[in-house]
Amino acid sequence: MSQADLKSEMLQAMRRLAKSVTIITTSNGQERFAMSATAVDSLSTEPPSLLICVNKTASLHAVLDAGADFCVNILGHEQEELSHLCSGPVKGEARFQRGDWRNSVDGIPYLGDAQSAILCRQDGKFSYGTHTIFIGRIQQIHNSTRISPLVYLDGTYTTTAPAPSLAAVG
Ligand SMILES: Cc1cc2nc3c(=O)[nH]c(=O)nc-3n(C[C@H](O)[C@H](O)[C@H](O)COP(=O)(O)O)c2cc1C
């Protein structure tokens, strides 16, 4: 298969990989930055850590590349508008015009009503092709009481339905 065909088939494969939508936030001390992202995953629980994959063209990449800490804000299904805002033409501070944004004691923005806001100290990075993988050592977590994430699947936004309980099925 040619490289072009592989890329096309990979994009088709990724349409089948349901991912919770997050907004990654960071700050350089003067300005806050936010970006929608699904290339986010847990890394380990010992130590508690996760990883994010950020395109080198993204405006917050330079801030993260300089070593800034960050937060992974997992969105709820009602927060699709925030994902559009943080992946569209509006840039920089203007991305914080909507949403219950607060600041951690270290000055990293986090979303007060996210499904979960996971504050991380940056603890490593790895450059690969167009992207950099940043490792976050988890420092603090704000979890909401309900689980109803915004999900990206087949190029569109959706959410998860509660699984039927075994009692209901049987
Ligand atoms: C649902 C969704 C998921 C995305 N996931 C990622 C991601 O994991 N990594 C990434 O670098 N960009 C991702 N993007 C693209 C960035 O959000 C988008 O390019 C953003 O505009 C980059 O920030 P900038 O405009 O400040 O440069 C995603 C966009 C959407 C809509």
From the CA of 78, how far away is ligand 1's center (Å)? 19
Tokens, residue 170: 């049987």
Tell me: pLDDT of 170 over 60. no
Q: For residues 68 and 170, give the distance between their C-alpha atoms in angstroms, rounded to a whole number.
A: 51
Is there an atom of ligand 1 within 6 Å of 87 CB?
yes
Among the listed residues 51, 33, 35, 31, the one whose alpha carbon sits nearest the alpha carbon of residue 43: 51
Lowest-confidence segment of 59-68, 108-117, 153-162 by average pLDDT: 153-162
Place of tokens 């976050």: 136
Closest CA to ligand 1's atom 14: 37
Is there an atom of ligand 1 within 6 Å of 111 CB?
no
Tell me: pLDDT of 18 over 70. yes
pTM of the predicted model as reported, rounded to 2 decimal places: 0.95
pLDDT in tens, 98-123: 999 999 999 999 999 999 999 999 99
Q: Does domain 3-169 have CATH number 2.30.110.10?
A: yes
